[in-house]
Chain A
Amino acid sequence: VVHWAENAAEACRMVVDIAKQNGVTKVAKSKSMVSEEVGLNDALLEAAGIEPVETDLGEYILQINDAEPPSHIVAPAMHKTAEDVADLFHAKHGTPRKTDPAALTREAREILRAAVSLRRHGRLRRQLPGRRDRLDAMVTNEGNGRMCTTLPRLHVAITGIEKVVPTLEDVSTLLRLLPRSATGQAITNYVSLLTGPKRLEETDGPQQFHIVLVDNGRAKLLGRRDARDAALHPLRRLHEPLPGVPDRRRPRLRLGLSRPDGLGADAVYVGLENAIDLPNAATMCNQCGVVCPVKIPLPDLLRKLREKQRPCTVMPATPPLPAR
């Protein structure tokens, strides 16, 4: 079943309704930037009392730390040291304190595997739904996405409309670009393409398969030259983690953005007045422009946003940094 969500509230309501109709109380989630954008975790918890569990290790670390926002779209817990995670796991799991990343990963693995097999409702991001072949594609390294789509009874995929691509050949091209640009891998360890619910006589797969396509302002941006390139591209969010891009994690945490996302051009989503520091937080070294596999002229876009700030005198005013 394909659902079209005009805005964030509608997307959340759709997922909550699907969950409620099926008596779901717990949800296993694969990492999803769109679900961050629409505030799905809060909606599930507050509106419906449904408990979401993040199954990506980085997202899980943040979730059990009182739902801390992610600092990086690929490595959400990048700002945490192994010592931080050791303290957190010790406090939240009640297990002996350990600092070795392998041992910490093992501990989380046991908990998350048990969580997914108990969950009745899996939900995750789709990277590149293919239009012609009517399917969805997703990428993970940990295999948590495969867990979420193979074991639970229901599967809800949520993604932005800009990620719909025409053919499987386009999927292959983007799969070459995406992991190379994000983590330096030629392919992620797991790539799954899903076309529907469990078929007759299959032993695994969900009984229901829902796709929620989220507009949330994207269609409107299509008409805006300055915003279009950056906003409506499947790889848009991958600008930030490119190897050549300066480390942006601390600036973004300081800026306290509502969206844990992208470079300054994301101001087109939240409105310049809500992100006055954003277009000014880049060094404009154009490293991102040089290495961009899909040729998004990010520094040009940022420059245009800065120009826009002048006449309406929306100038940066960074509040004092919170103590770390």
Chain B
Amino acid sequence: MMAALANRTPGPQPAVASEPRALLERFRLKSEQASSTVDIVASDAEVPAAIAKYLAAMKLPSSAVAWASLAALDWAGAGLKLETRGARDADLVGITGCFCAVAETGTLMMTSSPDTPAAVSLLPETHIAVVHAARIVPYMEDAWNLARAELGSLPRAVNFISGPSRTGDIEQTIVLGATAPTACIW
């Protein structure tokens, strides 16, 4: 039993190329297959303008609830109004970062903490996540190793998000937006 607990060897994994460019491409492909949209920008400074463009194209409001870690960017310069707090039911757009991202499945890993409230990626119908390309790892197992190295122990909640909410419960017709966000862009 103790041997089983000490064994950290991953099980079989699908092949995922580990060069940074390949990781980014796979992450983008898998995200888009899960009905998310992906916009790649050169630096943090370009993020507010890219988000403003997306919100305008989707006819969404130019205000959003966001994680405090994103407050330093020049949102006002892009014409956006940001509130850094926990999300409420009426919020339409939530902007977050992420702990890391998994290329295998195009998945965001969110770790809970006072500064990274889970509700911001959950309640608003549109969730926008800012992902740093350097934080894309090949497999979920790599994400666990990163969490062990950087956080020590796991936080209260780890939420993996792979695209918007969906259901096939009525005649197996896939419908997006069953309970949680209906659009993700990152």
Contacts and interface: CB of A to CB of B under 8 A. Distances in A.
B179 A193 contact: no
A317 B31 CA distance: 51
A201 interface: yes
Contacts of A141: 165-168, 178
Interface in A137-164: 141-144, 146-147, 149-151
Contacts of A150: 118-119, 122, 157
A135 B172 CA distance: 32
Contact of B141 (A131, A169, A183, A205): A169
Contact of B181 (A143, A167, A203): A143
B156 interface: yes
B54 interface: no
Contact of B177 (A106, A198, A203): A106
Interface string A71-111: 00001111011100100000000000000011011101100
Nearest to A150: B118
Interface string B62-81: 00000000000000000000
Query: Interface residues of B: mostly helix, strand, loop or mixed?
Result: loop
Contacts of B34: 189
Most central of A113, A135, A186 by chain B CB within 10 Å:
A186
A202 B122 contact: no
B112 A205 contact: yes
Contacts of B175: 101-102, 105
Contacts of B8: 167, 169
A78 B157 contact: no
A147 B117 contact: no
Interface string A181-205: 0010011111111111111111111
A144 B122 CA distance: 10
A283 interface: no
Interface in B130-164: 139-141, 144, 153-164
B85 to A, nearest CB: 8
Interface of A: 55-58, 61, 75-78, 80-82, 85, 101-102, 104-106, 108-109, 112-113, 116-117, 131-133, 135, 141-144, 146-147, 149-151, 166-170, 172-173, 175-176, 183, 186-205
Given A146-B159, A191-B162, A194-B158, 19 more contacts: A57-B167, A57-B178, A58-B169, A75-B172, A77-B170, A108-B178, A109-B178, A135-B154, A143-B178, A146-B118, A169-B8, A172-B140, A173-B12, A189-B161, A191-B159, A192-B158, A197-B156, A203-B119, A204-B117
Interface of B: 4-5, 7-14, 30, 34, 85-86, 89, 104-105, 107, 112-114, 117-119, 122, 139-141, 144, 153-173, 175, 177-181
